[in-house]
Each structure stands twice: as C-alpha cells, then as structure tokens.
A and B are shown apart, each in its own frame.
Chain A
Amino acid sequence: MAKAKITNIVFYGIGGQGIVTMAEVCGWAAMLAGFHVKKTEVHGMAQRGGSVESYIRFGKKVFSPLPQTATADYLICLHPEEHPRLLGELKKGGVDLFPYLEVAQKVVGDKKVFVNSFLLGVLSSYLGLEQSYWMQAMEKIFKRSLDENKAFFQQGYQAGGSL
C-alpha cells in the first residue's frame, strides 16, 4: 500500500495573534474540497501570550492529528524571533511562507488584523484548493469584516509565488 499523499501545514504565533482561527479557515477549505482534515494545537493557556502552534493535515485519510517531526509542507510564522526554530518543522523541499509576513504587513498597513487573511491567500496559491472553498470557509469563520478579509485574501493569492 503506497502512502497516500498528506499535506501538512504549520501555523505559529503567540496567543492573541489569531493563529487558531487561521488554521480553522484552512481546515474548512480543505474539508469542503472533499478531504479528510485533522487540526490540532500545541499551546499552554493561549490568552496569556504563550506560544501557539497549530497544525493542519489533510488528504484522503489522515490518522494522527499531530504530524511527525520535520514533515511540514508549508510553514506560516507570525513571530520573527521564533522563526529560526520553526524552520526545523519543514520537510526537505517544504515551503517557508515567512518572507510573506513583511509583504503582508506592508499591504495591510494600519489594518493589522488582516495580515492573517493575506497570508491565507498566499497559502491558497500553493495548495490548489478551489477558491470557492476558501470563500465558503471564510464565510463560516469570519463574523466581522468578511468583505475586507476576502479582499486581502485575494491580494495574498495574487502575491503568492512572487518571492
């Protein structure tokens, strides 16, 4: 039995940065696209500024919610200081989306909350899930400023692959 392809994504930030929600949108998009999804977190008491590491795994059938070490296909990191350590989570040939953080920050300017949507857009350009699933996922998760979130997501999608 050949191992069916599983996509592993790591999201990292500190409590309050919206990491869990970000992973949630990604998980919904993959599920709506017909995949089996597992999502899990490693964190202490999130509201108090501790590390939050969220994992999304999707494929035909996923067993463990936690990925094995150094198997991430994609890394999204919102915290520059922790970035070097997190590089260890990427597999050989995995894609580090950290460089897009700066781009995102420039694009959103004062509207800092939309950094995450921009980065999700970037991620979406790599994952090959249809855009309609991302839109539906955002409609599920974002209660506020849905249109703006979608707009920044689109910009991220356009920027994806440019670095």
Chain B
Amino acid sequence: MRSTHTQSLVLFSGDEALAQGAFEAGLEFAAGYPGTPSTEIIEHLAQFPEVNVQWSVNEKVAFEVAYAAAIGGKRSMYVSKHVGLNVAMDPLMTSSYVGVNAGFVIVVCDDPGMHSSQNEQDTRLFARAANVPLLEPSSPAEAKEFVKEAFAISERFDIPVIVRLTTRICHSKENVELAERHVQPTKPFTINMAKYVMVPRNALARHQDLMGRMAMIKIFSERSKLNIAQSGKKAIAFITSGVSYLYIKENYPDSPILKLGMPYPFPEKKVRDFCKKYKNVYVIEELEPYLEEQMRMLRMRFKTKHPSFSVGELRPEHIPVIVSGKPKPKRIVPARPPMLCLGCPHRLVFNLLKDLDVVVAGDIGCYTLGSLPPFSSLHTCLCMGAGVTFFEGLSHVFKDKKVVGVIGDSTFVHSGITGLINAAYNKAKGVVIILDNAITAMTGGQPHPAVGTTIRSEPTKKLILEDLCRVAGADHVDVIDPTDLKGLEQLLRQRIDEDALSVVIVRKPCILLVQKMKKG
C-alpha cells in the first residue's frame, strides 16, 4: 500500500473518512446529535457548504428530519452513537417498511469497551430487528468506500442502510485518498400514500414488500465483494467482521479469511461454501455473538471465542488466546481516570451537594464525573434525560429522603424537558438543577438550541431555558451563578424544603469553552 504522495492524500480518522465518503457520494443533508465516538462525522461535514448539516435536539428528531430529506429527493444521512439509535428506534423500525426515495444512510458508532458510554450494545442486532441491511467497514479507508456503497444499495433496493463503525475505527487514522464529489440528480417526490402513509393497511402491504426487498438484498449480499473470501494456508481459517479482521491479519496474515463487510443480511451460501473448504474455522467478532448465532442456525461446524470475550473491546493480542479456547486475560486499566477540569463550574455545585443530605439523580455529561471522589455526590446515571425522570420517580416513593435531579443544558433540551412536563403534570415536588454551561461539553463543545448558534456558528433563535421551564409547569425557576456559593447554598436549601416543583438553573460557561473563545 506504499502510495506516492499527492495533494489528495490525507491522514483521516474513520469519522472524517466516512464524512468525506458521504460528501463524495453527493450527500446533501445530514443530521445528528453529538456522542462519542460519532461526533466528528457531523463536525467534519459542517465544513462543506454544499451539505445542509445540523445538530438536532435529539436522535429521534435527527433521524426523522434527515430521513424526510431523503424522501424529499436528496441523499441524506443520520449520525449517532449506539445509544443514540435507541432514541431513534421508533422511526427506524418503520423506515424499513417505507423505504427511501433518494438514498438514506444511518451511521451508528458503537463503543466496545465503553471508552465513553453507559453500555456496549451491538448495532448488528438492531439491523436484524429493524430489517435493514448493515455494512461494517474495518478501517477508515474502508469507511469512506463503504458509505458510498451504502447509498447505492439504499437507492437500488429502496431501503435505509446502516453503516456501523466502532470506536477503534472512528478514532484511528490512516492514509486516505480524497476524490471528486458526484452530486446525484434530485429524485422528485411524488404523492404515494401507499408508501408514505403507514396506517395498518398500507403498512401490511409494505411489510410484505419489505420481505421481497430483503430477499433481493440477500442475493446481493451473497454476490457482493463486501463479503469477501481470501484464500491462504489451510491449517486455520476465520470468519469475521469489522475491526477484528485487522487483528486476525496481524496475527495470522497467511490464513484464509471470510471478511463480512455486509453481515446483515447474512450471506448463508458464501459462509457455507467457506466452511466446506476449511476444516478448522474460527468465528471471531467483537461484542455480541451475532455471526455465531447465524451460523448455529445453519448448523455449521466452527469454533468461537470464550464467552468472556463478549464483554469489552477486542485487542490484537486476544486473537491467539481465542484460538486457544482460553478466557479473556485480565487487563490493567490506565492509572489516571478522567476528572472534572480544574476550574470547571460543576465542581462548585457537586461540592455543595455533598454537604446537603440528598440523593442526587444524575444524567449524562461531564458532570457524571460528580459521582467520583472527591465529590461522590451523584448517585444515579442511566441514560439521557433520566436526571429528571429519576428525580420524579424517586420523589414519589421516598418518605424521609429528599431527591435532587441534576441535568446539563444540552441534555435537558435533548430529553429532560419531557420529564419536567411530566413531573409538573403529575404533581411532583422538589428540585431539578440544570447545570447550564452553554455548550455540549463532554463531546468537545457543540452548540444546541439554548446556545443560540448553529453548528456553523451562525446566530439563530435562542431557546430561553427559564421560560421553557416556567411554561412546562415549574413553580419556581431561579437562575444563579455558582461562584455565588453562599447564595447557591441558601437557594438550594430553601427550594429543597418547599412543597413545590423548582428548577434551579446554575449558569456558568464551561471553562474549556471560555478558553477556546479567548484563543479565538
């Protein structure tokens, strides 16, 4: 792969390469919500004026807006991390029935090993559940090519297509060649209720139609070069997908490998033929035993990983261990865990919460680190928005304990607001703190509606959080700067003791954001 150096050669991450590939494929619309390790895809796209790009308020909204743009006739893409797709499951599950007009690609970045996530779900299972094809590149350079293929498949078979990356691909870099952009002609939108209005009768017909489309895609998957068998020395052979392919090549460069770049729909015949050719076949995959289960259904003979390998990220040195049939070796994690930045405004709040005798329902953001010493004052964290809903649920059942909900500004807009409306409607009492640092900080600093700027830093309508909370039904809404420690403590003590639903907006920008602005 020694390539001559040209102007078009760049060192790109999987995220950047995927964005670049989509751009070259004529992408015209993209929407997402920030989430590690997917964030840089949308950020990279924002530099292309040809593409209409947005941070949406959450993944469900992003999915629907982007999907509609595809139905409206322009190649379009949705981007999120794995848990983001959960929020967008509702539109996803019916989108396979409806199909597309112009191509629609769903990019989902899984996080094996949970470098920055609350679980390590495997999106391949979701593709099966939703009946949409899934492509799985192994490297950044492949991500760029696969996303183009995904658009082609989407249009050819009238179906949304998932491209799945994992953290190791998203955030590793390699040589990538840039190419020309090819814009596709707009596909006119025609009124077609049978396709676009999913009421039961239409949906039943579309479900039937989906079966036919998936059967065709299965034939495609059997023939496609995305699923490619490489021959080699016969002693030991592998079936794999994603980054695991590279770990196998690293350890067994001369072994035959069936690399499944399109693991769903599963290319049964190709797999059968491969297994017929080699006696000693190993299935190696990160996280869930997806390939393994498909093969069991076909009653094929193969060996696979010890179940302990279903947890956490695979590493190159694991492959020989898997082949030997042994369990996963224990690994010593790096000694220095992350912490809230020095000077982070959240520190003031968590220091204070430690002194108040309350249970703190937390949420997802930098401030989740408030659960670690020296603060140790955040007691639950489940998913986006649960800072408010856990506050409500706990407050309904606690007799002699007080609960405080804690949620960030971006997370509140994402899914905290529905919880607050619910709390007001169902007469919950107590305090929800919105830690308003004027940015989506954990993912590196993205704007959102309450910031008042778009992804391209253009001014736009600004959502006023205090107004929103009032109309949602909060009895009291206070705004306070956390450097006023005395004032904050007094306010919190007072609000916690009252028989009312209160929102306290603690407002001070993220210190990293402030530093960035200073630098210009």
Contact status A32-B5, CB under 8 Å: yes
Cα distance A42–B114 in the bound complex, in angstroms:
11
Q: From residue A118, how far is it (CB to closest CB) to chain B in Å?
A: 22
Chain B interface mostly helix, strand, loop or mixed? Answer: loop
Find residues 341-376 in chain B having any chain A CB closer than 8 Å to their own CB: 341-342, 366, 369
Instruction: Say yes or no: is A61 at the interface (Cβ < 8 Å to chain B).
Output: yes
Q: Which residues from B are CB-within-8-Å of A126?
A: none
Q: Count the A residues whose beta carbon is within 8 Å of the partner chain — how many? A: 41
Q: Which residues from B are CB-within-8-Å of A45?
A: 36, 116, 338, 366, 369, 442
Cα distance A41–B36 in the bound complex, in angstroms:
14
Q: Which residue of A lies closest to B334 (CB)?
A: A51
Q: Which residue of B lies closest to A133 (CB)?
A: B5
Instruction: Say yes or no: is B168 at the interface (Cβ < 8 Å to chain A).
Output: yes
Contact status A44-B3, CB under 8 Å: no
Q: Which one of A65-73, A106-114, A145-153 contacts B? A: A65-73
Contact status B366-A48, CB under 8 Å: yes
Question: B336's contact among A27, A40, A82, by CB below 8 Å, is which?
Answer: A82
Instruction: Say yes or no: is B463 at the interface (Cβ < 8 Å to chain A).
Output: no
Find residues 1-54 in chain A having any chain B CB closer than 8 Å to their own CB: 1, 3, 14-15, 24, 27-28, 31-51, 53
Q: A32-B5, A49-B339 are in contact. Are A68 and B317 (CB under 8 A)?
A: yes
Instruction: Say yes or no: is B196 at the interface (Cβ < 8 Å to chain A).
Output: no
Q: From residue B22, how far is it (CB to closest CB) to chain A in Å?
A: 22
Contact status A48-B175, CB under 8 Å: no
Chain B's interface size range is 35 or more
Q: Which residues from B are CB-within-8-Å of A1?
A: 253-254
Q: Which one of B180-188, B244-252, B398-406 contacts A? A: B244-252
Instruction: Say yes or no: is B171 at the interface (Cβ < 8 Å to chain A).
Output: yes
Instruction: Say yes or no: is B493 at the interface (Cβ < 8 Å to chain A).
Output: no
Q: Which residues from B are CB-within-8-Å of A43?
A: 115
Contact status A63-B173, CB under 8 Å: no
Cα distance A49–B243 in the bound complex, in angstroms:
28
Cα distance A14–B341 in the bound complex, in angstroms:
12
Contact status A48-B339, CB under 8 Å: yes
Instruction: Say yes or no: is A92 at the interface (Cβ < 8 Å to chain B).
Output: no
Instruction: Say yes or no: is B459 at the interface (Cβ < 8 Å to chain A).
Output: no
Contact status A40-B512, CB under 8 Å: no
Contact status A34-B316, CB under 8 Å: no
Q: A36-B2, A65-B246, A67-B316 are in contact. Are A42 and B334 (CB under 8 A)?
A: yes
Q: Which residues from B are CB-within-8-Å of A47?
A: 341, 444, 512
Question: B246's contact among A3, A35, A64, by CB below 8 Å, is which?
Answer: A64
Cα distance A52–B317 in the bound complex, in angstroms:
20
Question: A40's contact among B36, B171, B249, by CB below 8 Å, is which?
Answer: B171
Find residues 60-98 in chain A having any chain B CB closer than 8 Å to their own CB: 60-69, 82, 85
Instruction: Say yes or no: is B49 at the interface (Cβ < 8 Å to chain A).
Output: no
Find residues 1-28 in chain B having any chain A CB closer than 8 Å to their own CB: 1-5, 9, 11
Q: A31-B175, A39-B173, A40-B171 are in contact. Are A63 and B249 (CB under 8 A)?
A: yes
Q: From residue B296, how far is it (CB to closest CB) to chain A in Å?
A: 28
Cα distance A38–B139 in the bound complex, in angstroms:
10
Q: A39-B173, A66-B168 are in contact. Are A50 and B334 (CB under 8 A)?
A: yes
Q: Which residues from A are CB-within-8-Å of B366?
A: 45, 48
Best-surrounded residue of B250, B253, B340 (most CB of chain A within 10 A): B250
Q: Which residues from B are CB-within-8-Å of A38?
A: 172-174
Contact status B315-A36, CB under 8 Å: no
Q: Which residues from B are CB-within-8-Å of A34?
A: 2-5
Q: A43-B115, A48-B366 are in contact. Are A65 and B336 (CB under 8 A)?
A: no
Best-surrounded residue of B2, B340, B369, B444 (most CB of chain A within 10 A): B2
Best-surrounded residue of A53, A62, A66, A82 (most CB of chain B within 10 A): A66
Instruction: Say yes or no: is B129 at the interface (Cβ < 8 Å to chain A).
Output: no
Best-surrounded residue of A24, A37, A41, A45 (most CB of chain B within 10 A): A45
Best-surrounded residue of B3, B253, B316, B366 (most CB of chain A within 10 A): B316
Contact status B246-A44, CB under 8 Å: no
Q: Which residues from A are CB-within-8-Å of B5?
A: 31-34
Q: Which residues from A are CB-within-8-Å of B512?
A: 47
Q: Which residues from A are CB-within-8-Å of B247?
A: 63-64, 66
Q: From residue A120, how far is it (CB to closest CB) to chain B in Å?
A: 15
Q: A63-B246, A64-B250 are in contact. Are A48 and B172 (CB under 8 A)?
A: no
Q: A48-B341, A49-B341 are in contact. Are A64 and B316 (CB under 8 A)?
A: yes
Cα distance A61–B3 in the bound complex, in angstroms:
10
16 example contacts (A-B, Cβ-Cβ < 8 A) are as follows A32-B9, A35-B2, A36-B3, A37-B11, A39-B174, A42-B334, A43-B115, A44-B338, A45-B116, A45-B442, A48-B340, A50-B336, A51-B336, A53-B334, A64-B316, A66-B316
Q: Which residues of A contact B (CB under 8 A)?
A: 1, 3, 14-15, 24, 27-28, 31-51, 53, 60-69, 82, 85
The 10 closest A-B pairs by CB, nearest first: A50-B338, A65-B172, A40-B172, A51-B334, A48-B338, A63-B249, A64-B250, A44-B338, A39-B173, A51-B336
Given contact pairs A40-B173, A44-B115, a sample of 16 additional A-B residue pairs in the complex whose CB atoms are under 8 Å apart = A27-B11, A31-B5, A31-B11, A32-B5, A33-B5, A34-B5, A38-B172, A40-B171, A41-B171, A44-B116, A44-B338, A47-B512, A48-B338, A48-B340, A48-B341, A49-B341
